[in-house]
Structure 1
Amino acid sequence: MASPAERLAEALGGDILSGVLREDERLPAHRPLAWQLGIGVGSVTRAYAILERRGLVRSVHGRGTFVAVRHDAARPMLDLATNMPPPMFSDRALARTLNRLAKHVDPGLFNIYPPVAGHLEHRRIMAHWLAGMGVAVAPDRLLLTGGAQQALNVAVHVARQHVSYAVAEAQTYPGMLGAMRQAGLAIRPAAMDGHGMRPAALEAILAGRRGERAIVYLTPEMHNPTTATMDLRRRRDIVALCRKFDALIVEDAVYVHRDDPARPALMTLAPERTFHVSSLSKILSPGLRIGALIPPERYAEACLPALLASSLMIAPLSYAMMAQWMQDGTAESVRAALHAEAVRRQDLVLSVLGTWVVKPASHAFHAWLPLPAGQAARVVAQAQALGVALPPSDAFLGGEGVKGTGVRLAFGNVTFRALPEALARVRQACADKAGKVSRDTMAIS
């Protein structure tokens, strides 16, 4: 049963979000309110502290506690559906970069078609960047792509000639689901837990189709949407099974932001069968649509015509900006700033939503609320009515028969000032649902 402080915080939070209490309105003083409600003064103090952590009120020393949320029926929808990092480049920073490029840019970048896999110098720069995230690759083995989605499309196209079906996590990235279906691959969803795809589930699928080869799609770090992160043992177990059954791997590493020897890339554990995909969009800027594909050596040659056929050329200006930022240290400082911002926003999400949300093992700009399908759909609908956009609860389903589902929150596409209100509304949408979650008990099958 909720404590008096929690019940008071919920009641006041509801009045704030519904507009009964308006922006800058002063809340009652602690002692009179405690006397009026028949509760302790400490309960009122704790309730106000809860509201302040949620960003619904602000305390002013010597004056009292005031409503911090503006209720405006005409305000735009708060977008927690689009998964992207917050902007880190100011107008001044962009202008400075463009001024530098105007003085030093190579006109040849704009006067010729680039090589299919990108200019070798840019591939060297990207290879050096990836080395900082624990991925060692020779520049001539790396292909530059128009974002991670193009890299995934190329990997699926090439692997399709050698496999007859696909395996993916029970919940997974919709863009990859679309790519595999477009390639004519039947997708088998494998059950997950807090560390990602379960080895037993993968083995059951692969063993059940002996004689057929599979492609296994995995996001080992900050899995989208569940935030599950594979530990070293899980990575080794998954790789061992793929070797045992000769399955190919597509590793989606777009949320990896640093080198962690305890969580090595799958391609370092199984380079002979892993297509490694990375991107700058999630860890630098969404507008910098440059991805990287590292295929297994024996499939590298086949990737070039597949990349050419996709006809999505990286803009020369994007190449030039990538090179400038990586060489002058801007990219590294932005990556560090985004990591700090992800930590700050995750702390706020956990503070506001508490046990509704799974506590992630790493950092990015999305969070996961595991819920049964019916409840998840109702939360999405209720949030929409409260002015918060969330992705459909079934958008991430890896196939038929998946029992567990939930709601993904993407919290990078709203300002930090607006985020407390957006999260408070999500909490309100969840308020009539029962149950708590934890990293150890989360299971999707």
Structure 2
Amino acid sequence: MRRQSSWAPHLAAGMASPAERLAEALGGDILSGVLREDERLPAHRPLAWQLGIGVGSVTRAYAILERRGLVRSVHGRGTFVAVRHDAAGPMMDLATNMPPPMFSDRALARTLNRLAKHVDPGLFNIYPPVAGHLEHRRIMAHWLAGMGVAVAPDRLLLTGGAQQALNVAVHVARQHVSYAVAEAQTYPGMLGAMRQAGLPICPAAMDEHGMQPAALEAILARRRGERAIVYLTPEMHNPTTATMDLCRRRDIVALCRRFDALIVEDAVYVHRDDSARPALMTLAPERTFHVSSLSKILSPGLRIGALIPPDRYAEACLPALLASSLMIAPLSYAMMAQWMQDGTAESVRAALHAEAVRRQDLVLSVLGTCVVKPASHAFHAWLPLPAGQAARVVAQAQGLGVALPPSDAFLGGEGVQDTGVRLAFGNVTFRALPEALARVRRACADSAGKVSRDTMTIS
């Protein structure tokens, strides 16, 4: 007699198709450990009847999960969970900012097996064009269109991740600017790139909508005789989670036009098309270097990024890209193309978004008003704190078995008063996350008794 499934049937909320909502519900319960390895999933017809959906929707949902390697089907027996949940180690990593794994080893093996049968040997036998094969650039351009970025394939350069794209943008812009402006707290990788290029960095004050126009204007006006490059992360800013609304985006663009500043737009956290929050590149294509990547919204191991430079700087980007790296690994190209063409990439993108929402809700429920409630979704959160207390929280958390980034890692320059601690919650399992957050809450309490919210005007 077959063992019946223990899963309580339900659909995820939302407006997606029944198949997608079922895949999201099952995938979430598999990844969080509600369903264990080798547990049998419900049979198609009884599950369809219980949920009031078509049998075809159940079949499509199971196929989505199988493409991701979360389940395996056994002919004549049924469908089974294929993911093993390892116990958490002694140190919980809330320092590394990456999404949780959505591909299992089975999905990877199946992809590689398919590629072995169909991949073009020419991809491996010659050096690719500097900016990537045109077909792969077409695939990436189509993917970016779903993120609200319209670009012709020949204007897009493929890079070995977002960091390389940022480095190329800084290298090219450096010939035309004398200093940089960045948010008061910002991505350390870009700070390193600007410092390596010899660019003085002026930090601009922030609020819940990102860089404040008045702060940017004061810096640009004070150095009116010089040209600047302005680095911005408009969506789910790292580390503060600030997201620019349309008014803020237009104000920033207007100032950059007025003072002829160049813009580097870091869009690695953009996961969908939102007309209310257009890309800065869309608002100011003549001066914006747009950077995107697959690592934050698809898979950290797929080190493929995209750089869309302004037309007048596009030619200069090619030698800069060549000098920084000969090419992306051909296998990464092939895997990107396979996943985007067979629908795997889109299903994983949607699943990651749902997982980000679920984890953000958990973070807010455990840490409450200590943490900033974000306007968008990714796998990091921000605790605004005075500098001294932030350093103590990091040290206390370390003693409690939780790794956090150094409290000064994101400082954009001297004299920055707006400080805090970033939590990256994608690199631990969902089952371990409540304990990790409880330890952070204890570290905050031990450091000062209460987390202060007076250092940033965010809510």
Structure 2: stretches of 5+ with no match in the other structure:
1-14
Alignment check: 8 A CA contact 1:83 1:412 kept: yes
Tell me, yes or no, if structure 1 residue 146 matches structure 2 residue 160: yes
Comparing 34-43 with 122-131, greater Cα deviation is found at: 34-43
CA 1:41–1:14: 2 relative to 1, 3 Å: same
Looking at structure 1, the residues matched to 429 and 31 of structure 2 have their Cα atoms a distance apart, in angstroms, of 18
Q: Which residue does the alignment assign to 1:295?
A: 309
Moved over 2 A (4+): 1-76, 432-445
CA 1:16–1:298: 2 relative to 1, 3 Å: closer
Alignment check: 8 A CA contact 2:385 2:453 kept: no
Shift of 1:46: 41
Once the two structures are superposed, what CA deviation does each residue of 1:315-350 show, in whole Å capped at 9, x if it has no partner?
100000000000000000000000000011001000
Looking at structure 1, the residues matched to 337 and 65 of structure 2 have their Cα atoms a distance apart, in angstroms, of 45
Structure 1: stretches of 5+ with no match in the other structure:
none
Alignment check: 8 A CA contact 1:280 1:291 kept: yes
* Structure label with greater radius of gyration: 1
Alignment check: 8 A CA contact 1:79 1:413 kept: yes
CA 1:122–1:387: 2 relative to 1, 3 Å: same
Shift of 1:101: 0.7
CA 1:71–1:141: 2 relative to 1, 3 Å: closer
CA 1:364–1:33: 2 relative to 1, 3 Å: closer
Looking at structure 2, the residues matched to 55 and 319 of structure 1 have their Cα atoms a distance apart, in angstroms, of 20
Once the two structures are superposed, what CA deviation does each residue of 1:419-440 show, in whole Å capped at 9, x if it has no partner?
1110000000011456988999
CA 1:107–1:244: 2 relative to 1, 3 Å: same
Alignment check: 8 A CA contact 2:370 2:453 kept: no
Looking at structure 1, the residues matched to 106 and 58 of structure 2 have their Cα atoms a distance apart, in angstroms, of 46
Once the two structures are superposed, what CA deviation does each residue of 1:252-304 show, in whole Å capped at 9, x if it has no partner?
00000000000000000000000000000000000000000000000000000
TM-score, length-normalised on structure 1? Answer: 0.83
Alignment check: 8 A CA contact 1:85 1:282 kept: yes
Comparing 17-26 with 325-334, greater Cα deviation is found at: 17-26
Once the two structures are superposed, what CA deviation does each residue of 1:27-74 show, in whole Å capped at 9, x if it has no partner?
999999999999999999999999999999999999999999999999
Looking at structure 1, the residues matched to 45 and 410 of structure 2 have their Cα atoms a distance apart, in angstroms, of 49
What secondary structure is seen at the aligned counterpart in 2 of 1:443?
coil
Looking at structure 2, the residues matched to 100 and 89 of structure 1 have their Cα atoms a distance apart, in angstroms, of 16
Comparing 49-58 with 186-195, greater Cα deviation is found at: 49-58
CA 1:350–1:278: 2 relative to 1, 3 Å: same
Comparing 25-34 with 15-24, greater Cα deviation is found at: 25-34
What secondary structure is seen at the aligned counterpart in 2 of 1:249?
strand
CA 1:53–1:212: 2 relative to 1, 3 Å: same
TM-score, length-normalised on structure 2? Answer: 0.80
Looking at structure 1, the residues matched to 51 and 336 of structure 2 have their Cα atoms a distance apart, in angstroms, of 60
Looking at structure 1, the residues matched to 250 and 297 of structure 2 have their Cα atoms a distance apart, in angstroms, of 26
Q: Which residue does the alignment assign to 1:243?
A: 257
Alignment check: 8 A CA contact 1:84 1:286 kept: yes
CA 1:21–1:149: 2 relative to 1, 3 Å: closer
CA 1:125–1:59: 2 relative to 1, 3 Å: closer
Alignment check: 8 A CA contact 2:396 2:447 kept: no
Alignment check: 8 A CA contact 2:418 2:455 kept: no
CA 1:234–1:95: 2 relative to 1, 3 Å: same
Shift of 1:211: 1.2
Percent identity of equivalent pairs:
96
The alignment of Structure 1 onto Structure 2 pairs a total of residues equal to 445
Looking at structure 2, the residues matched to 11 and 331 of structure 1 have their Cα atoms a distance apart, in angstroms, of 18
Alignment check: 8 A CA contact 1:170 1:444 kept: no
Q: Which residue does the alignment assign to 2:403?
A: 389
Alignment check: 8 A CA contact 1:215 1:250 kept: yes
CA 1:434–1:119: 2 relative to 1, 3 Å: same
CA 1:59–1:149: 2 relative to 1, 3 Å: closer
Alignment check: 8 A CA contact 1:56 1:421 kept: no
CA 1:384–1:40: 2 relative to 1, 3 Å: farther
Shift of 1:99: 1.5
Alignment check: 8 A CA contact 2:28 2:355 kept: no
What secondary structure is seen at the aligned counterpart in 2 of 1:432?
helix
Shift of 1:93: 1.2
Looking at structure 1, the residues matched to 64 and 258 of structure 2 have their Cα atoms a distance apart, in angstroms, of 52
Looking at structure 2, the residues matched to 32 and 441 of structure 1 have their Cα atoms a distance apart, in angstroms, of 55
Once the two structures are superposed, what CA deviation does each residue of 1:157-207 show, in whole Å capped at 9, x if it has no partner?
000000000000000000000000000000000000000000000000000
Shift of 1:397: 0.1
Looking at structure 1, the residues matched to 195 and 348 of structure 2 have their Cα atoms a distance apart, in angstroms, of 36
CA 1:341–1:17: 2 relative to 1, 3 Å: closer
CA 1:300–1:193: 2 relative to 1, 3 Å: same
Looking at structure 2, the residues matched to 314 and 22 of structure 1 have their Cα atoms a distance apart, in angstroms, of 37
Shift of 1:76: 2.5
Alignment check: 8 A CA contact 1:222 1:255 kept: yes
Looking at structure 2, the residues matched to 171 and 324 of structure 1 have their Cα atoms a distance apart, in angstroms, of 37
Alignment check: 8 A CA contact 1:53 1:352 kept: no
Alignment check: 8 A CA contact 2:94 2:404 kept: yes
CA 1:9–1:267: 2 relative to 1, 3 Å: closer
Alignment check: 8 A CA contact 2:70 2:81 kept: yes
What secondary structure is seen at the aligned counterpart in 1 of 2:102?
coil
What secondary structure is seen at the aligned counterpart in 1 of 2:23?
helix
What secondary structure is seen at the aligned counterpart in 1 of 2:181?
strand
CA 1:342–1:187: 2 relative to 1, 3 Å: same
CA 1:252–1:2: 2 relative to 1, 3 Å: closer
Looking at structure 1, the residues matched to 83 and 265 of structure 2 have their Cα atoms a distance apart, in angstroms, of 42
Shift of 1:443: 3.4
Tell me, yes or no, if structure 1 residue 190 matches structure 2 residue 199: no
Alignment check: 8 A CA contact 1:355 1:438 kept: no
Alignment check: 8 A CA contact 1:402 1:444 kept: no
Looking at structure 2, the residues matched to 12 and 325 of structure 1 have their Cα atoms a distance apart, in angstroms, of 21
CA 1:65–1:302: 2 relative to 1, 3 Å: closer
Q: Which residue does the alignment assign to 1:284?
A: 298
What secondary structure is seen at the aligned counterpart in 2 of 1:433?
helix
Looking at structure 1, the residues matched to 116 and 44 of structure 2 have their Cα atoms a distance apart, in angstroms, of 61
What secondary structure is seen at the aligned counterpart in 2 of 1:378?
helix
Alignment check: 8 A CA contact 1:358 1:439 kept: no
Tell me, yes or no, if structure 1 residue 5 matches structure 2 residue 32: no
CA 1:255–1:49: 2 relative to 1, 3 Å: closer
What secondary structure is seen at the aligned counterpart in 1 of 2:419?
strand
Shift of 1:442: 3.0
